Structure 1
Amino acid sequence: MASRSRADRLRRTARRKGAGPAASSPKGSGGLDWARRIELVSVLAASVAAIVGLWYTNSQIRDELAINRDNLLTTQQGQITDRYTAAITNLGAQAVDVRLGGIYALQRIMIDSPRDHPTIANVLNAYIHNHTTTPLPPAEPDVSDEPAGPTADVAAALTVLTTRDTTHDAPGYIVGLRWANLHGAVLTEANLHNASLNRAELSFANFVDADLTDAELYEANLTNAYLNDSDLTGALFLDADLTGAWLTGADLTDADLTDAAVSMEQVLSAWPDSTTQLPEDFANHPRIRERITEGNRR
């Protein structure tokens, strides 16, 4: 009995020793899982905080940039307004060089501020018209047979207006110089598309390589004007006087010269075609018909 009792105690002791590590293993394993979870949660929280911080910082920077951009635009517009006001003031000066400065200042503003382009185009148009609707002094008789040209300020305004970037024009804008006295004006390569030049004084004016497409020239005086190589497509010359004008190489496609004072030789030097309307007295002349055929083939 004693030996059996001792054997039982040894077996129970052995079982307890064997069970100790096994029983403690789940507890140790459970403790390690919670530590990892806490660590992952901490990392995730830190990441979220960093992302939120970056978003907030980016939002603040965007807002500040927008404010700075608005302030810059406001400052620029204020400067342009000041420049415009000064330029307009200069246009009313007595000294021609001051007026010239005002005109070129307006040209600079047209380039720098497309939104002000239409207004300045209208201002220059009005300036030219107001300064050319009164007769200019006659030329000195012993100096030249040609009339004196426009004054320096009007010539500058014409150049600025007729070489502008037309993509910034207001819808439907046209150069309106009806009744304007522009004899002797230099308008080479000028953009006068769709311009209104009705009853304008254009004698001795230089329109070489100019764009006069769809221009209206009713009763305009173009005596001795230079229209060499100009584009007169669709131009209307009703009752216009082209006596002595040079038309060499001019494009007369769809131009209306029905009632114009123009000679057959002048038309033969240009490029008429079957759409050109010519005076009845030579419209069907064989030489004209031959020239029209050449124009159609061009």
Structure 2
Amino acid sequence: MIIRRAVAGHPAAGRRCPNCRRTRRRARNWAQLGALVTSLVTVVALVFTSLSLHETRRQVDATMTAQLAERFTKAVDQTGHDKPHVRLGGIYALGTIAQDSAAHRPTVGRVLSAYVRRHREVEPGGCVPDVQRGPIDVVAALDTALVVGASHAIDLARSCLDGVELPAAGLHCANLTGTSLRIADLRGADLGEARLANARLDVDNPPDDPHPFGANLSRANLAQARLGGADLSHADLTGADLTGADLADADLTGANLTGARLAGAQLVGADLTGANLTDAHLTGANVRKAVFAGTDRAAVLRRGAVEENHRSTPSRCPR
């Protein structure tokens, strides 16, 4: 009983600590400040790391760009070498560069096209009759130019490509103006919107040959192709897609157009003497001033052909 009174009568008994609440508040504030500082340090570290990675990536990209430029320059120099095997190495090196860098593909396509044109240019008298595709380096340049996948950059204008074997070749939007493709094999090739004005795809047989034949373009895609003035005499265009193609003044003498799609094609002034139009689709084909010797013009018109003024369509190919 005496002990209980002593404790109860102690001066501090029942009295709360006046600094405890303030101390707890201060401790809580310091804890929050510490957490904030830690967060700021983490953010700064992340920003610094991001900037460091960006700079590293930029330096790597710059190094790769410099290496590609050096490889490209070296490969182009090799194509001008006097030894054929060195030129061949340069051609294949350009192909590798095009595979490594999509941005270089159009440039590589133009360089290789120029190589073919320089070595296989159509002479004033035409192509050399006993030479087909040309030397191995020219063949490699042609094949590589088509493989790199930049068909719109392929410029083989006025080149000697007689007898080329390019079935299913990607030549969409290619420039083949004035090119000689006599007895060429272009079966199933994509020549959509390609420029083939004044190209030669005609017969390469003796005049007395009873069965002449020209270039093989069976099942080829020639939709919207520019074939004005082209020589397609005796060409095999079986099942070819010539939808909207410009064939104005083209020579289609004896051409096989069986099952060909000619809807909307411009055949103004074209010579279709002896051409085989069996099952050809002629809806909207413009046959104004076209020559149909041996073919009933009225029958062609009944099948959907029209006779109207020549209307050319603009090209959608990148230039």
The TM tier, using the shorter chain, reads: 0.7 to 0.9
Per the alignment, residue 240 of structure 1 pairs with: 230
Q: Which structure 1 residue ranges, 5 or more long, are not aligned?
A: 1-15, 140-146, 294-298
Shift of 1:25: 4.0
Whether the aligned pair in 1 keeps the contact of 2:239 and 2:257 (CA below 8 Å) is: no
1:277 and 1:266 map into 2 onto residues whose CA distance is: 19
Whether the aligned pair in 2 keeps the contact of 1:252 and 1:276 (CA below 8 Å) is: no
Shift of 1:83: 1.0
Shift of 1:47: 1.2
Tell me: CA distance 1:41–1:51, structure 2 relative to 1, closer, same or farther (3 Å). same
1:164 equivalent to 2:148? Answer yes
**What one-letter code is carried by the residue in structure 1 that aligns with 2:283?**
S
| Residue among 248, 252, 257 paired with 1:267 | 257
Tell me: CA distance 1:218–1:92, structure 2 relative to 1, closer, same or farther (3 Å). same
1:275 and 1:165 map into 2 onto residues whose CA distance is: 33
CA RMSD in angstroms, aligned pairs only: 2.9
1:151 equivalent to 2:135? Answer yes
TM-score, structure 2 length as denominator?
A: 0.72
| Residue among 106, 112, 115 paired with 1:124 | 112
Output one character per residue of 1:151-209: Cα deviation in whole Å (capped at 9) or x when no partner: 2222222222233334xx8xxx5533221111112222222223332221111222111
1:191 equivalent to 2:170? Answer yes
TM-score, structure 1 length as denominator?
A: 0.77
1:203 and 1:265 map into 2 onto residues whose CA distance is: 13
Output one character per residue of 1:5-43: Cα deviation in whole Å (capped at 9) or x when no partner: xxxxxxxxxxx997765x764452x23212312321232
1:222 equivalent to 2:213? Answer no
Per the alignment, residue 101 of structure 2 pairs with: 113
Which of these two proteins has the greater Rg computed from alpha carbons? 1
Per the alignment, residue 68 of structure 2 pairs with: 80
**What one-letter code is carried by the residue in structure 2 that aligns with 1:122?**
R
Tell me: CA distance 1:88–1:97, structure 2 relative to 1, closer, same or farther (3 Å). same
1:281 equivalent to 2:292? Answer yes
Per the alignment, residue 65 of structure 1 pairs with: 53
**What one-letter code is carried by the residue in structure 1 that aligns with 2:229?**
D
Tell me: CA distance 1:25–1:154, structure 2 relative to 1, closer, same or farther (3 Å). farther
1:201 and 1:239 map into 2 onto residues whose CA distance is: 13
Tell me: CA distance 1:27–1:57, structure 2 relative to 1, closer, same or farther (3 Å). same
Per the alignment, residue 213 of structure 1 pairs with: 192
Q: Percent same amino acid among aligned pairs?
A: 29
Tell me: CA distance 1:234–1:284, structure 2 relative to 1, closer, same or farther (3 Å). farther
Aligned to 2:258, the other structure's residue is in SS state helix
1:8-47 equivalent positions in 2, closer than 5 A:
25-28=14-17, 30-47=18-35
| Residue among 246, 259, 263 paired with 1:256 | 246
1:27 and 1:63 map into 2 onto residues whose CA distance is: 55
Tell me: CA distance 1:219–1:186, structure 2 relative to 1, closer, same or farther (3 Å). same
1:265 and 1:165 map into 2 onto residues whose CA distance is: 31
Shift of 1:236: 3.1
Judge which range, 32-41 or 128-137, deviates more. 128-137
1:236 and 1:99 map into 2 onto residues whose CA distance is: 33
Shift of 1:133: 1.0
Shift of 1:52: 2.0
Q: Which structure 2 residue ranges, 5 or more long, are not aligned?
A: 1-5, 203-213, 263-281, 306-319
Whether the aligned pair in 1 keeps the contact of 2:219 and 2:241 (CA below 8 Å) is: yes
Shift of 1:123: 1.4
Whether the aligned pair in 1 keeps the contact of 2:168 and 2:188 (CA below 8 Å) is: yes
2:82 and 2:196 map into 1 onto residues whose CA distance is: 33
Aligned to 2:134, the other structure's residue is in SS state coil
1:176 and 1:76 map into 2 onto residues whose CA distance is: 28
Shift of 1:99: 1.7
